[in-house]
Amino acid sequence: MLKRVAIFKALDIEIKKQRGSVAAKGNYRGHHSLKEQLSQGTITIIAEIAGGSPGLGKTRSNFKASTHAKSLVENGAKALSVATDKFLYFGDDKGLSETRSQVKVPLLRREFIFEEYQVEESKILGADAIFLMPALLTQSKLVDLNKLAIAKGLDVVFEVTNDDEIKRSIEVGAQLFCIVGRNLENWHPNYDKAIVLIKKIPKDSLIIFEAGINQLVQVKHLHALGVHGVIIGDALLDDFYPGKRLASLLKGEAPPIKKIPKVKAVPTPVVVTAVPAATKAAKEKISSPRKDTGSRMSGTPARRTPSTTARKGKKEPIMAKKKAAKKATKKVAKKATKKKAAKKKKR
């Protein structure tokens, strides 16, 4: 997954460099400190705004990031992670700049940062903090991007998934860590495995935790372990009203079970092909002999339906004999009629 991200972002960055960033009306000069928010003593709820995720795929086709942002802040979010990555999180730059104009809480830009251009762009769009992933960057690049971000007044959150990435982040001077309890190849969450990494973070650092959090009991457990903030994302993605869903989660309510409507079994319709009346009559004529209705004169041989062979134009010997006999009968009848007529005249 990470290799694909690198390829997609390299092309995306080049396109942006050529046309310039058009999502923001002007440079954002303010700053809402994520560090200060995480240092309040209570655990900070960071709600994520996105159109989907690497694990779930696209879950929203049309949504307004700023509308979701206001609802989430009203229902307990103290900071927001706003996705601008369009490949795996299905967000856009416009969503971040519009959100900045609507809320007054720290905004984290959910983006895969590879170049200095993206750091400067983050500040212009209205971000207060950015993510850097050691898994995606060389050590020298990690150092350069961190220095530039600090110079631009941005807080830097180092996303780590193992011991090595924690060590590399410490060498750069990281103060904000986000423990990502996920497999970076398929994005499946692993809460228990990520818990072990909490003890590896320096005590004077601030810790954010992200591993598919969807229950209040998890939030309380992490707070007891010394975590300063949690990112809640997947639990909100499949809800039309993410603010209400966040409120119910923070109250300890179980997520609603979405019922699948039962579909009644419909019997397969029997398709009856309409047969024209003329065709139907012809078929009946061919398939079955005509019934004697009593209108036929006695002594007259019954009319029979010709066989298949006869219909094809081939004469059968038996039929030929019957026809010859019929003609002979007619001749005899004619002679008899003539004789009767002649007798009547004589009289």
Mean pLDDT of 325-339: 74
Contact present, 127 and 55 (Cβ < 8 Å): no
Q: What is the mean pLDDT of the chain?
A: 84
Cα–Cα distance between 303 and 284 in angstroms, integer?
Answer: 15
Q: What is the largest CA-CA distance in the chain?
A: 149
Question: Which residue did the predictor score with more confidence, 299 or 224?
Answer: 224
Distances (CA, A) of 218 to 128, 164, 247, 331: 27, 26, 15, 112
Which tokens is 115 given?
A: 């170049």
Contact present, 49 and 82 (Cβ < 8 Å): yes
Per-residue confidence (pLDDT) for residue 34, from 0 to 100:
98
Q: What is the pLDDT of residues 167-208, one digit of tens each?
A: 999 999 999 999 999 998 889 999 999 999 999 999 999 999
Q: Which spans in the chain are helix H?
A: 2-19, 34-38, 65-74, 93-100, 116-125, 139-151, 163-172, 191-195, 216-224, 234-237, 242-250, 277-287, 308-311, 317-346
Per-residue confidence (pLDDT) for residue 117, from 0 to 100:
94
Question: Does 123 have pLDDT greater than 50?
Answer: yes
Per-residue confidence (pLDDT) for residue 265, from 0 to 100:
44
- The values of phi and psi at residue 176, to 5°, are -120, 120
Instruction: Band the pLDDT of 238: cuts 50, 70, 90.
Output: confident
Tally of CB atoms within 10 A around 90: 19
Q: What is the pLDDT of residues 99-115, one digit of tens each?
A: 999 999 999 999 999 99
Which tokens is 98 given?
A: 């519009």
Per-residue confidence (pLDDT) for residue 336, from 0 to 100:
74
Q: What is the pLDDT of residues 55-101, one digit of tens each?
A: 999 999 889 999 999 999 999 999 999 999 999 999 999 999 999 99
Per-residue confidence (pLDDT) for residue 27, from 0 to 100:
73
Question: Which residue did the predictor score with more confidence, 320 or 28?
Answer: 28
Per-residue confidence (pLDDT) for residue 80, from 0 to 100:
98
223: number of CA atoms within 13 Å, CB side?
Answer: 13
Per-residue confidence (pLDDT) for residue 29, from 0 to 100:
80
Cα–Cα distance between 183 and 180 in angstroms, integer?
Answer: 9
Question: Does 332 have pLDDT greater than 90?
Answer: no
Distances (CA, A) of 212 to 108, 182, 190, 247: 18, 8, 8, 17
Question: Which residue did the predictor score with more confidence, 242 or 311?
Answer: 242
Q: What is the pLDDT of residues 253-286, one digit of tens each?
A: 987 765 544 444 445 444 444 545 555 554 455 4
Q: Determine what percent of the chain is predicted with pLDDT higher than 70.
A: 76
pTM of the model: 0.73
CATH number of 2-18+31-250: 3.20.20.70
Angle at 165 between CA 162 and CA 169, to 5 degrees: 140
Virtual torsion, Cα 316, 320, 321, 326, nearest 10 deg: 140
Which tokens is 320 given?
A: 């030929």
Q: Of 131-135, 258-262, 320-324, where does the model show the most confidence?
A: 131-135
Cα–Cα distance between 209 and 195 in angstroms, integer?
Answer: 9
Q: What is the pLDDT of residues 213-231, one digit of tens each?
A: 999 999 999 999 999 999 9
Per-residue confidence (pLDDT) for residue 305, from 0 to 100:
52
